[in-house]
Structure 1
Amino acid sequence: MHIVVTGGAGFIGSHFVKHVLGGAYPAFRAARVTVLDKFTYAGSGTNLSDVTDHPLLTIEKGDICDGPLVDRLLADSDLVVHFAAESHVDRSIAAADVFVRTNVIGTHRLLEAALKAQLTRFVCISTDEVYGSIGGTGRWDERAPLAPNSPYSASKASSDLLALAYYRTHGLPVCVTRCSNTYGSYQHPEKVIPRFVTQLLQGHRVPLYGDGSHVRDWLHVNDHCQGVALVAADGRPGQVYNIGGGTELTNRDLTQHILALFGADWSRVDNVPDRKGHDLRYALTTDRISGELGYRPAVPFEDGLARTVAWYTRHPEWWKPLRAVDTYQGVARLREAQEPLPPP
């Protein structure tokens, strides 16, 4: 079997690649893996440094919007697991064009190549943010309407709908996964947990949006990858599968958990103005993936968070260079790196 993993040098994609090559998933043992990654700010070769010399791994630097490139890579593949995306809400507010380009046009180019290659499975990795805010009670299941509220989530919803349309129109065996907030090692420090952890490690204060009442469900990266592997192996074509962690916390509660691991108190917290369009709460049901595929999250949040803090504590050489580039510098670099659009 040959698996193409887009965004395989990013946070979640690199974990998935290493699990596959390490034999964690019986359905994919001895599979060849090709990573396609553009290596923008969020993708790094160091994320794959411990498997770079693996005989079953090929790494291709390239853009998912490059039609001839993805045609070539998918021509002899069996499965695409599509992690590649621009994925930060604040960056999408500053530069929505970058998100539309990668998340919509890039997905379209991959779907076209997959159709030509007659792939046996295409898994499109998405987010619970496509459902929008659910308010104080209830949970979204896979039949819920999409109501994205940020340019990022709107671009991901567009990607989902394109993928599902290729199943309904062309019979391409597509599955979509929608995950809750994922955390773990190798996550870029623009995201809340590594941002707070690295702030505290540097002796700085942490910025908490608004009153901290926004609620998220937390999912360890190993559990996320396990859910994706189950869908890639046995998911029903044309279906959406939610992947959740089962730990709902307000951002204030999350902050308290992180402070406690540092022996710190609320004097280390700054309440900062809320960001635009900040959804109050995301919450998913996972009945479909649990009932059909046997998914169960295995990493308790307290244990996963402690392991994550310990990893960032041990690896300042990984995250310190990334902290040197702020959001708006990053946006400028992304725009520069993504022009012009490659040919279809």
Structure 2
Amino acid sequence: MTVNTRMPESLASATGTITVDLAQIVANWRALAATVAPARCAAVVKADAYGLGAERVIAALARADCNTFFIATPEEAEVARKFAPKADIYALDGLVGNSAPAFDRLLVKPVLSTLDDVVAWSALSRARGGDLPAALHIDTGLNRLGLPLRDVRRLADEPSMMKGVTLELVMSHLASADNPRDPKNRDQLLAFETLSALFSGIPRSLAASDGLMLGPAYHFDLVRPGYALYGGQASQSTPTPVKPAVTVAARILAVADVLRGETVGYSATWRAHRPSRIATIAAGYADGVPRSASAPDGKPGGQVLISGHLAPIVGRVSMDLITVDVTDLPEGAARPGEFAKLIGDGLTIEDAGFAAGTIGYEILTRLGHRFTRLYLDDNP
């Protein structure tokens, strides 16, 4: 396995690094595919592959024979088609703006979520004189994107509305799949089974990362993991068979003594109750560390790993910097110039999200672009 940065500058000047293990992402996809077989396993690579670099992630998965990808926007469609030239690519946000001609050119299949989407895709099909493939999104209780019951029944009763549209997938999305005990999961499953039956013979898809762990009844013909591919654990009770695939580290800039009673950071929200050692680290909310990970006086906040030891963030997270209490670390463990880990070695994406009052999905997709990205190659 090799490290490839695709960046000419030396790591000596990097304030932080985001290390993406492409081999582990591929291994995660294979583990998920084995879990849901005989259903097929797609890969959701929207939002720049959840912040980890769509070009590299898509190319690695395509080499591993992943042949179905989900993106959200026309711009993401361009990237996906370039790096997965033979794959089935679905656009989750449907026909955004004037995206229909671009999707047609790129052979990307829009996920039709409104009657307006259906009408527009059908019109383009008639104009070009050939059928166009698409997916149909049915709302089963999330009440976000997706055709409501009345529109689903209308399409089933008036097939002329979809003239020229070749349905290749009927899908929905679970609202509470992270909690296996929520009765809404079963309600949505029954609704999906009922409504998708109106489109007999069309492959079906309901489960994403957390939903696929609800069991075979939720797998249907295709599952759509995203977060789990990157090592995320979305389910509250059943671990997904994946391992972490990203490490985030930032450089320690300085370590200084703070007297008892002195404050640290903006607005003086944290006060030292003992003589303390404070490390200043080159990461802030511009790099994806949520401001909500700040630790006001007496309350827990985020943590980092320094030389294998956990150290709490103290004071306010600012744009470029965080401050960390290293008083209890062994002498010399925190040294200027060394790196502290924000994610990695047991400090999980979920840990970072929980500490900031958010979820791991947000932590991943907010990772900034000032840090040097390193890729552990998927090719031996």
TM-score of the two chains, using structure 2 as the length reference:
0.30
Structure whose CA Rg is larger: 2
Indicate the structure with greater helix content.
Answer: 1
Indicate the structure with greater strand content.
Answer: 2
TM-score of the two chains, using structure 1 as the length reference:
0.32
